[in-house]
Structure 1
Amino acid sequence: MDTARLIYVSTAAVPISPDLLDDILVTARTRNAQSGITGLLCVVGNHFMQLLEGPEAAVNSVFESIRHDKRHKDVMIIHTEATCHRQFPDWAMGFAQTTGAWAEANDNWIRVRPAQLEDLLPKDVAPEVRMLFLSFRGARDIHLAEVG
C-alpha cells in the first residue's frame, strides 16, 4: 500500500503552554495510532512543523482537522508526496521541543543540539526531510520527548 507524506508549518494562535502541548501530543498519538499515521512534530517558540505519513485518506483527514483547529494559524503545506517508504515507521508521533523551563523540569525530555538530533533521526530519513527538521526556525537547542 502506498504511503502519503505531508509536512506543514503553522503558528500557534494561542500562547503555548505545557498543558497545551501535552494535550496536542496525547491527541496526536491516539488519533495517529488509530489511523495508521506516523510522524514527527517539532515546536520552536510559537511555531509548529509536523510530518504526517500514512494512508493518503488518513493523512488528508488529519491535516484538514489541524487546518481547522483554532489553536493554529498560518497553516501551510511545505512538502507533500506519495511514497512507499515511511520515514518514521515506529513513531506514532515523535515530538521535538525547543528549550523551556517546563521541559527542563520534565524527566521525559532529552536535551539535544541539532547535530545530535541528526544522529537520533532514523538513518534512512530522506535528505530533504532531515534538512527541513534540522533547519526549522533556526533551532539551536531542542528537547525530544520519548516516543510511542
Structure 2
Amino acid sequence: MDTIQRFLAHAIQLEQESARRYEELAEAMTTVGDAEVVNFFRQMAHYSRLHLKEAMERGGFHSLPDLAPEDYDWPDGCSPEAAVWEGVDAFMTVAAALELALDGEQRACNYYRLIADTSTDPQVKRMANDFAEEEAEHVTQLGQWQQRLKF
C-alpha cells in the first residue's frame, strides 16, 4: 500500500467496523449484567471513533471514502476487525467477548505492521507504525482485563 489516501481509506473502514463491533459487544454484555465490562467496551468503541475521526482528518475526507468491497486490499479478503466478529449475541459470556475483541485487535495490529513493513511510502510506513502501536495498546488493555477477571 503505497499512497497515504489509500492507506487511510482502509484505516477508516477498519475503525468504523471496530466501533460498530465494540458497540455490539457492549450491548451483548448488558444481558450479562456486568456494567464495568459494558462501559469498557463502550470506551473501546469511543476510541475507535476517535481513530476514525483522526484518519478522516489526516486524509482530508469530509465523508467516508467510497470504495467498492473489491477495491480494499485485506489480507484475508475482509477487514481484520470484521473477520472475527461472527457470533456476537446476548448469550455470549464475558470471557468469549474479551477473547473475540482481543483477536480483532491483534489482527488489526498485525495488519498495520504488515503495511508498515511492506510499504515503500515513508508517510504510510510512519502512520501504519503509529496505528499498530495504538492497536498494540488495545491488545494490552484486553489482556489486562482477561488477567483481572481470570480468563
Please, what TM-score do these two structures have when normalized by structure 1?
0.30
Higher helix share: 2
Higher strand share: 1
Greater Rg, structure 1 or structure 2?
A: 2
Q: Which has the higher contact order (CA 8 A, sep 6+)?
A: 1
